[in-house]
Amino acid sequence: MNKQNWLKTRSTQALLLLGMLVGLSACVTVNIYFPAAAAKRLADQVVGEVYKAAASGAVSPSAAANHVSPDHSAPALTAPVVSPAPSAFERLTPAHVAGYLLATGFSVVSTPAEAAADLNASSPGVQAARAQLEAIATRMRPYFESGAVGWTANGLVAIHDAAAVSLQARAGLSGLVSSNNSALQNLYQQIANANGHPDWEGQIQQTFAQTWISKAPAGYWYQNASGQWQKK
Amino acid sequence: MPAFSMFRPPRPFGIWTSLVLLCGGGLFLTGSAGAQTLEISASSVQGPGWQAQHLQASLQTDSSYTAHLQVQAGVVAMGKQRVWQKMQGHCKLQTQYGWSCSGLQLTVSGSPWGELQSDGRLQVLRSDGAGSLQLHLQGATFGHTTLRIHSGATGHWQLQARGDLALKGWVPALQMLPAKWQAGGAMHWQLTSDGKSWSRINQLHFVARLYKGQFSSPDGLQAAQNVAATLTGDGQWLRHWQGQLQLRWTQGGVLWSPWYWAAPVRPVVVHSDWQQTAEQWRLNRGRIDWPELGTARFTVSQSLHGGSMRWDLHDVDVGLEPLFAHWIKPLLPASSFAAQALLAGRLRFSVAGVPALHALRWDLQGGSFSSPPMSLQGVSSHGAWDEHSPLESAVFHWQRATLYHIPLGPVALRLALHPGGFALYHPLDIHLLGGVLHFQQLSGHWRGAHSGFAMRGDLKGLSMRSLTRIMHWPPFTGTIQATIPELTYHAGTIHTSGELSAGIFGGEVRVRDLQVQNFLGVMPLLRANVSVQGLQLKPLTEAFHFGYISGVLDGNLRHLYLLNWSPEAFQARFATVKTPGVPQKISYQAVQNITKLGGGAGIGGFFQGMFLRLFNTFSYRHLGMGVDLANGIAELSGVGTENGGFVILQGQGLPRVDIVGYNHRVSWDELLARLKTAMETGPQVHTGE
């Protein structure tokens, strides 16, 4: 087979393959499932900042990056005009196309496609909720450290052993726990709302629940899945 | 009516015939050679409210006047309360000169206080019927008690008792606290009492001293530690019981979440008369003296035939600072605006309830209130509120006030109070910054799901120069006129139902959909849509030292979010509109600043710059800019596009100056810094227009 025939045959095969894959990929339904990985990254970031604020006693309302994954480093005003990055279309090569189509085709026959969504945590509502939580975190820290309060398995705070602090310190404990839980619930709801999925609140809360515990400093108390108190 | 009943010994051993009821019992009499044994047993004996099981008494006589008495009892219960599981006792009974039971030994097991041991002596004289009982009772949990009773022939009797007890055993035994609560501490007590007959107590006096008292609920949110207090009281029977009580609290702390009180240096003293009739019990002419807080008088009554407890606290004279800190502040959310307040002044008030609060009357003098961003000085107020009165009134007055550092003039409010809220009697004016904030309507509701405040009014003549100076903004001139159609405050959030409008720089600013969450709290979040119409650029740019621009500006600021009063997000579009009679001109300085603002480094080129400097102003066709702020990044746009850039200024005539920006995305902080620099640089060029 000469080179020309070989190319012709291979082109025909490639076209057939592409046609088949295009046909398969035309049937793809992209389901926006809860982006667990992005939620985990967001929880890691937010929880880390709240613990940091609690440790430093400082409140930084405008702290922080707003998206979890994309890095929005702001260009300086005097910087040259932002040159547009090569578009996704321009970066396409036959290998990319084939790879994409193969991956798409494979995903069609194996599992439903999952949108690689990132969680948006930049809405003013989320920022306000975070700032309020960080403000309360400073006052909550002594109670966590003494064991008076601990994390519940569902991402809220509960009184573990009020007697661990003085009578005077106990006086405002219930109110503080209540305020902290309101701020937490608000944070979970605001994140869900910011991503257009108020129904994700429960899953976001569960993701945060694990992170509050996993990132908690040693000595903090928490409830395990069966509701038993344990000390980190 | 309290009464003691006691048998009179008609003759030796005759007591055994007076048992109330014997069920399944027996009586046996055996004897030999001068010794006789009498045994009586009953499987159950019961009376109104009590029951005893497995009673047994054995009397063994040694001679005519001496016998050995042994008694034993099974479970004895008073109502549902078991007194003991088992009791055993014995004594030597002598009847030669009356009755004498010496060497009395009792052991009790299974009582609420655990194991008890007792020794003592019982004596009843035959000659005049007088008798005495001396008993010493002790137990590991019970503590110990010494009891002396003396009775004369006429029936007049006296009782003296004293003892020490451990609260750890007594409190659960008497079910003084809910189950699973813990208590501790010790109490020393004394009781003296007497009566003219055994059927009646005529008077009593008692003293109870508590040391290191403590209690705790299972969750630890109701607790006390190291409490020392003394309760003294007396009572007399004069057709009904009456007397006096005094409580002195000298040490320790009490937590009843969310409240916590620590004993002050001088003791807290509560004194009251008490009275109990067939109808009710009552604390009357009560007085509380709480050092470092104030004084109060009180009465409390409770019907014995049901109904609610009635109470009133009157002639209360307290310092506002400790009252707020220890009694009111704990009720407020920790992060709320009010919880951060500092108050001072003297408050006199009276309150009453059945048992919920239903009436209040107050008089406040020399008050002050401070909680950033608000402060009030020279506050006085008096008024009344009654749950059952459709209309009461109140007066509220302050001499000086500030809100966000804005001084507010003196105010005298007259309010109509109704059971569920208040409203202004007359429209109210508050003078501020040369203008007047006029409240046509101001009302509050503290009941139901929509508790909060509502107001409607307008603002006239507020000096922009004063406002900008106080707020450290660039100086503006002119005044603000604003209309506030309906503004409500509920659960920390401000809403407006209509449109706020304000006149500024010859134009009008309208604010719609205004909402401020967590207003006066931590991290307030403002949302609004703002539109601007007819804004005169000349006075505006004069105020900002931005460089001279004349023209009329329209625009809007959509989806504005301010977090803690700093911009968090918005979509802004502003552009000039050609208006007859208003020239559209811009100075060289303004061109320079806009160029920098739009992403350039100013007018470049030596000759270009030198040439343009020859002109004071340039004519323009369009001037405008768009800024979309999100995530700390501002996306810039203009009034048109050109070569991939955005046109900020489109000039006309000669020389013509266009400004085209190419930096579409800038840091918001950087943009602010540049704007500030532009407004602070150099004298502006005045054209005299």
Q: Which 13-52 residues of chain A touch chain B by CB within 8 A? A: none
Over the stretch A91-142, which tens digit does the pLDDT of each residue have? 333 444 444 333 333 333 333 333 445 677 878 888 889 988 998 999 999 9
Q: Is A79 in the B-facing interface, judged by CB distances under 8 Å?
A: yes
CA atoms of A179 and A137, how far apart (whole Å):
10
Interface test with A, best of B222, B226, B257 (most A CBs within 10 A): B257
* Neighboring chain B residues of A163 at a CB cutoff of 8 Å: 216, 220, 223
Indicate yes or no: CB of A128 within 8 angstroms of CB of B670. Answer: no
Query: B86-90: which pairs have CB atoms within 8 A and are 24 or more residues apart?
Result: B86/B110, B89/B118
Quote the CA–CA distance of B4 and B18 in Å, as a whole number. 17
Residue B158 in contact with residue B135, Cβ under 8 Å?
no
Give the residues of chain B that fall short of pLDDT 50. Answer: 1-24, 682-689
Q: Which residues contact B181 (CB under 8 A, 6 or more apart)?
A: B171, B215, B216, B217, B218, B222
Q: Among residues 635-654 of chain B, which lie with CB inside 8 Å of chain A? A: 644-645
| Residue B325 DSSP class | I
> Which are the contacts of B40, defined by CB distance < 8 A and separation ≥ 6?
B16, B19, B25, B26, B27, B55, B56, B57, B58
Q: Is B221 on the interface with A (CB under 8 A)?
A: yes
Q: How far is A29 from chain B (nearest CA, A)?
A: 31
**Does B568 sit within 8 Å of A72, measured CB to CB?**
no
| Close Cβ partners of B547 (under 8 Å, ≥ 6 residues apart) | B541, B586, B587, B588, B589, B590, B591, B592, B593, B594, B678, B684, B685
Which pLDDT belongs to residue B169? 80
Q: Say if A193 is an interface residue toward chain B (CB within 8 Å).
A: no
Contact of A128 with chain B, judged by CB distance below 8 Å, is answered with yes
The alpha helices in A172-222, defined as continuous H runs, are 173-194, 201-214
- Residue-level pLDDT at B604: 53
Is B662 an interface residue toward A (CB < 8 Å)? Answer: yes
Residues B517, A128: C-beta atoms closer than 8 Å: yes
Helix axes A124-146, A36-56, angle to 10 degrees: 60
Beta carbons of B522 and A131 less than 8 Å apart: yes
Choose among B626, B628, B654, B658: nearest CA to B639.
B626
Q: Kindly report, residue by residue over B532-566, the tens digit of the pLDDT.
A: 999 888 887 776 667 788 899 999 999 999 888 88
Chain A residues in contact with B251 by the CB 8 A cut-off are none
Kindly identify which residue of chain B lies nearest to residue A74, measuring between CA atoms.
B667
- Best mutation target among B181, B631, B671 (most A Cβ atoms within 10 Å) is B631
Residues B335, A135: C-beta atoms closer than 8 Å: yes
Q: What is the crossing angle of helices B588-597 and B668-680, to 10°?
A: 160
User: Distance (Å) from the C-alpha of residue B668 to the closest C-alpha of chain A?
Assistant: 8
Number of domains in chain B: 1
What is the pLDDT at residue A14?
Answer: 63
Q: Where are the beta strands (DSSP E) in B22-85?
A: 26-32, 35-47, 50-61, 66-73, 76-78, 81-84
Residue whose tokens read 């926006």? A32
For tokens 């909680």, name the residue: B371
Q: How far is B526 from chain A (nearest CA, A)?
A: 9
B672 touches chain A (CB under 8 A): no
Contact B484/B457 with Cβ under 8 angstroms? yes
- Cβ–Cβ under 8 Å, residues B8 and B153: no
Q: Give the angle subtended at the CA of B675 by the CAs of B670 and B676, to the nearest 5°.
A: 100
Tokens matching residue B247: 């409580």
pLDDT confidence of residue A20: 54
Domain of B664 in residue numbering reads as 505-680
Q: Between chains, do A135 and B522 touch, taking CB under 8 Å as contact? A: yes
Under 8 Å between Cβ of B594 and B600: no
- Residues of chain B with Cβ-Cβ distance to A82 below 8 Å are 663-665
| Residues in A touching B527 (Cβ below 8 Å) | 124
Question: To the nearest whole angstrom, how far is the Cα of B258 from the nearest Cα of chain A?
Answer: 5
Look at B666 and A76 and tell me if their CB atoms are within 8 Å: yes
Tell which of A167, A184, A187 to mutate to test the B interface (max B CBs under 10 Å). Answer: A167
Q: Do B666 and A179 touch (CB under 8 A)?
A: no
Contact check, Cβ <8 Å, A62/B566: yes
Helix (H, G, I), strand (E, B) or coil at B664: coil
B423 contacts: CB under 8 Å, gap ≥ 6: B415, B416, B441, B442, B443, B444
Residues 6+ apart with CB under 8 A from B434: B461, B462, B463, B466, B479
| Token output for B630 | 């999100």
Give A22→chain B minimum CA distance, Å. 36
Residue B184 has, within 13 A of its CA and on its CB side, a CA count of 9
As a whole number of angstroms, the distance between CA B193 and CA B203 comes to 6
Q: What is the pTM of this model?
A: 0.72
The alpha-carbon gap from A109 to the nearest alpha carbon of chain B, in Å, equals 39
Interchain proximity A67–B631, CB inside 8 Å: yes
Written as six digits, the tokens of B169 are: 């055993």
325-354 of B, contacting A, C-beta below 8 A:
330, 332-335
Asked if residue B603 lies in contact with residue B615, where contact means CB atoms within 8 angstroms, the answer is no
Q: How many residues does chain B have?
A: 689
Tell me the nearest-neighbour CA distance from B574 into chain A, angstroms.
20
Tell me the C-alpha distance between B208 and B128, whole Å.
Answer: 35
Of A67, A128, A172, the CB nearest to B330: A172
Domain boundaries, chain A: 5-65+89-231
Parts of chain A with a pLDDT under 70: 1-33, 57-118
Query: How, if at all, do strands B86-94 and B525-536 pair?
Result: unpaired
pLDDT of residue A18: 58
Distance between B93 CA and the closest CA of chain A, angstroms = 55
Which residue in A132, A163, A175 is closest to B522 by CB distance? A132
Task: Report the distance separating Cα B169 and Cα B54, nearest Å.
Answer: 27
Kindly determine whether residue B645 and residue A81, on different chains, have CB atoms separated by under 8 Å. Answer: yes
Residue A122: closest CA among A74, A191, A183: A191
Q: Which residues of chain B have a CB within 8 Å of the CB of A139?
A: 334
Nearest CB to B665 within list A82, A163, A173: A82
Please check whether residue B406 lies inside any domain of the structure.
no
**CB count in 10 Å sphere of residue A80:** 10
- pLDDT for A77 equals 29
Taking CA atoms, what residue in B is nearest to A183? Answer: B335
Provide the pLDDT for residue B404.
Answer: 82
Collect all residues of chain B within an 8 Å Cβ-Cβ radius of residue A167. 223-225, 253-255, 260
Give the Cβ contact number of residue A121 at 10 Å.
Answer: 27
- Amino acid at site B387: E
Residues of chain A with C-beta less than 8 angstroms from the C-beta of B632: 62, 66, 72, 74
Residues of chain B in contact with residue A174, where contact means CB-CB under 8 angstroms, are 221, 257-258
CA distance B471 to chain A (A): 20
Cβ–Cβ gap B262/A168 under 8 Å: yes
Total residues belonging to chain A? 232
The three-state DSSP-derived secondary structure of B232-264 is: EEEEEECCCEEEEEEEEEEEEEEEECCEEEECC
Pairing mode, if any, of strands B633-637 and B585-587?
Answer: unpaired
Chain B CB contacts of A178 under 8 Å are 333
pLDDT for the residue A78: 27
Instruction: Decide: A145 and A220 in contact? Cβ < 8 Å.
Output: yes
Which residues in chain A have Cβ-Cβ distances shorter than 8 Å to B667? 74-77
Interface contact A62-B665, CB threshold 8 A: no
Residue B529 lies in a domain: yes
Residue B189: name the closest of B203, B204, B177, B201 by CA.
B204
Q: What is the CA radius of gyration of chain A?
A: 25
CA distance A172 to chain B (A): 6
**Chain B residue numbers touching A138 (CB-CB < 8 A):** none
Q: Measured between beta carbons, which residues in chain B are less than 8 angstroms from residue A173?
A: 221, 257
